[in-house]
Structure 1
């Protein structure tokens, strides 16, 4: 790790750089870079252009370009990404973030305009403030600080990869890695797109659940029938679907599918009261599952029915339904292959189909989880985070899935991977009133500057 005198210089430089970093973040938030095709796509290009200009202005990179990659199996290119490359002897680091954002949803719920970054009580509100345009500015500001403190020739190769479709499934991500492998290859990969333990305590994500999502059609009849004439003797699809889906969980709400495994991992203290505070869980509702709460979220599988096609209440008639279609989203414990998990769920459903119901599986999408490997990268990351925040970091699992991290690990198996964060639990990513805790932002920039300076001076 770096000397005290160098650390002090980095601290001073980060403090001086933060007003400009917040101003640049404010400008990026003003661009509604929603990557979903249903929205105007011109802002996606504008966002990439803005980030390309900011990266170029750091003076760090030999080349900065906007690039796309073909979505496999289609004749369509993915969203624009920014790729910056700096060649140098010694170690090389790849810095990842994404510039696309989620749709805003019901704007009436927002307290301020979603694309006007607004500071209030130490937080900056707006879509993308935390997820993940703050990640982009963390990388760029840390690089500017390191260049300022160590000089132009700071002895570290750097690749910057700012993706443009993380919120829409990273459809061209794998192809982008293949197309630009030489430019992206690194000893250390830093992914600034996870969460911290709280606004004061940094988190280093060491485990992520995978996912297995699919559509299931349940059919029991050739056509609809009168529920009065045949109800009680003929099985309708909704009855079969309810009984079938109920078999996926035990009486506590925990997953009850043979073949789905759990990860053996240590979790920090986290009680039901904190769960209620962070989720606004009504007092009348009780948590599901058994055992430590974080173990349920980080290390065990979960299954959720996220969509259903059936008659609406307004259009309901006295009819036995011939078929029902549902979307099932499973989170897979770190360490279990997502395809294997899907096959276990499929086999379970086929074995429990009631009344001879016919099952049809389609639109299967599996993404692998992630488990960090202990070693020099993790040790260096934990040290840098502690210096940057002034608090010992927490090694986190995350219940959500970031499948592209497993793609990075597969494409660059010898690289250390650090999954860091600017987001805190109150940041409300993907929700109305998304926000960034500004003190956390500064700590994140300082921690990354210390990390980069450590790599540069030890190369």
Structure 2
């Protein structure tokens, strides 16, 4: 006998204390895949996730192909039922300066209905939402499941394509749920239907063989920092609109995003103006954006009275849906070459890139998801939203599993501060996410045909 909606709600309520305790145990593991960090913690994190999946009755293995460990757990579908792939990642961003956190980033703390800690939202809560749904069903799971928990998403997913290709048949499914996005607002669920792509690159200017005295040579000789600043300034026009020819952009995002709400969520200071043109949603979902993420230069406390011979910047280009990363890298590179001032030597290097994506969110799996959201959020209609960030591997899933419906969901809200200090999870929303995922699996079993 299949479980009813009321059965699943009661089961989630029953399982939530244990789910939260396990989430807190995961948050305490500083599993950071970046270079320079102790990767034994990523190993511990993978082992902890594998233990959780085995506890749900899944046939589970830890896999790696040149990078950090991922976890794959499987449970076969009942006869004729569809299989659902549940994705999340167990690695986290570096915490940064501990002084910017109100509490220890790796010691979960509840304040005002939110659980604070690195990874509490992004994406260990995604892992535990999958676990909560599986625990709610117990031995009465109506679909087959493949739980795929990656171990280096925050560091660029370098080995992900290899893992997917090596385990292609194990991962093959009818519906793919990627729990690594967010909801429109507290109390308003969402399906993510578009994401921008990404090009990260370095630009270095060199004007001298070595540093020279700023008094003896300053005036006729340009310094590298001024040269770099002038070059970077050409990337935008006076209104802040991206000024690189050849980048794709479009209008058409239909969701209203009030400017005051966006200012508040971004933490903009009073008097700071928006840059660019178009609606807020156009500017963060369907148009390119360029930011300078860092500059290699002497620290002010250590700066000598000398003209610097070279300076290097890391540039991040977010790509609108429909853009090709190789074309975008070429366009920005050509722009920099045309605009480098004073004959300085310019070196450009690609660090990483990723495809944007658009999802056609129509069909029975999407109907099943929206119905689950409406039920979990007490009748609130979900939003189809874009995301300014990037999940490049979605394009890989689209290519390798063209018949599968891809649902991009998540646990974050506009106040989660993912990647920033005081990252947090709204515990009331997390409960709704868990209910929604359980109901989604029930609805998929009833409406989607297995292959």
User: Contact 1:202 / 1:421 at 8 angstroms: preserved in 2?
Assistant: no
SS at match of 1:138: helix
User: Contact 1:211 / 1:331 at 8 angstroms: preserved in 2?
Assistant: yes
Alignment of 1:319-334 (within 5 A): 319-334=306-321
2:77 is aligned with 1:81? no
2:60 is aligned with 1:64? yes
Alignment of 1:54-453 (within 5 A): 54-59=52-57, 61=58, 63-70=59-66, 78-88=67-77, 89=79, 90-147=81-138, 151=140, 154=142, 156-376=143-363, 377-390=365-378, 391-453=380-442
- Rounded to whole Å, the distance in 2 between the matches of 1:374 and 1:177 is 23
TM-score normalised per structure 1: 0.91
Deviations 1:174-204 (A, max 9, x none): 1110111000011111000111111211121
Say if 1:105 and 1:447 are closer, same or farther in 2 by CA, change over 3 A.
same
Alignment of 1:9-20 (within 5 A): 9-20=7-18
- Rounded to whole Å, the distance in 1 between the matches of 2:212 and 2:320 is 42
Cα deviation, residue 412, structure 1: 1.8
Cα deviation, residue 41, structure 1: 2.2
In structure 1, what is the equivalent of residue 26 of structure 2? 28
What CA RMSD, in Å, does the superposition of the two structures yield over aligned residues? 2.0
- Rounded to whole Å, the distance in 1 between the matches of 2:351 and 2:35 is 21
User: Contact 1:210 / 1:370 at 8 angstroms: preserved in 2?
Assistant: yes
In structure 1, what is the equivalent of residue 48 of structure 2? 50
SS at match of 1:427: coil
User: Contact 2:121 / 2:423 at 8 angstroms: preserved in 1?
Assistant: yes
Cα deviation, residue 268, structure 1: 1.9
User: Contact 2:116 / 2:425 at 8 angstroms: preserved in 1?
Assistant: yes
Structure 1, 81-90 or 235-244: larger mean CA deviation: 235-244
Cα deviation, residue 228, structure 1: 4.0
Say if 1:307 and 1:454 are closer, same or farther in 2 by CA, change over 3 A.
same
- Rounded to whole Å, the distance in 2 between the matches of 1:278 and 1:386 is 25
SS at match of 1:386: helix
Q: Where in structure 1 are there 5+ consecutive unaligned residues?
A: 71-77
- Rounded to whole Å, the distance in 1 between the matches of 2:111 and 2:222 is 57
Cα deviation, residue 96, structure 1: 0.3
Residues matched between the structures, number:
443
Say if 1:91 and 1:258 are closer, same or farther in 2 by CA, change over 3 A.
same
User: Contact 2:251 / 2:287 at 8 angstroms: preserved in 1?
Assistant: no
User: Contact 2:253 / 2:285 at 8 angstroms: preserved in 1?
Assistant: no
